[in-house]
Amino acid sequence: MTDFYVPGDSGVTGVTIADPENTSGRLLPRELAPGVTWLGDCMLFPTPQGLKLGKLEHSYTAVFLVSGEDSSLLVDTGHPKDWVVVRTQLDALFEASVPPLKYIFPTHFEVTHSGNLGRLLRRFPEARAVGNIRDFELIFPDLAGRMDHKEVGDSVDLGARRFVFVDAVFKDLVSTLWGYDEKEQVLFSSDGLGFGHYHGDEHCGKFAEELPELPIPELTGIFLEYALYWTRLKDVEPHIERLRKLVFEDYPVRLIASAHGSPVSDPSTTMERIEGGMRELAERYAIR
Structural domains present in the chain: 20-284 (3.60.15.10)
Residues 253 and 186: beta-carbon distance below 8 Å: yes
Cα-based distances in Å from 131 to 2, 30, 127, 241, 246: 38, 25, 13, 25, 19
Residues 68 and 82: beta-carbon distance below 8 Å: no
105 sits in which H/E element: strand 101-105
Q: Which residues pair with 32 in a beta bridge?
A: none
Residues 36 and 65: beta-carbon distance below 8 Å: yes
pLDDT at residue 209 greater than cutoff 80? yes
Q: Tell me: the pLDDT tens digits for 150-168?
A: 999 999 999 999 999 999 9
Q: Tell me: the pLDDT tens digits for 2-53?
A: 222 223 333 323 333 445 556 777 788 999 999 999 999 887 655 555 444 5
Residues 106 and 129: beta-carbon distance below 8 Å: yes
Average pLDDT for 52-77: 86
Distance in angstroms (rounded) separating the CA atoms of residues 6 and 16: 6
Nearest to 66 by CA among 218, 169, 179: 179
Nearest to 71 by CA among 35, 122, 37: 35
Average pLDDT for 206-233: 80
H helices of 124-203, where? 136-139
Give the global pTM: 0.86
SS3 state at 50: helix
Q: What does DSSP assign to residue 123?
A: H
Average pLDDT for 70-96: 95
- pLDDT of the residue at 55: 62
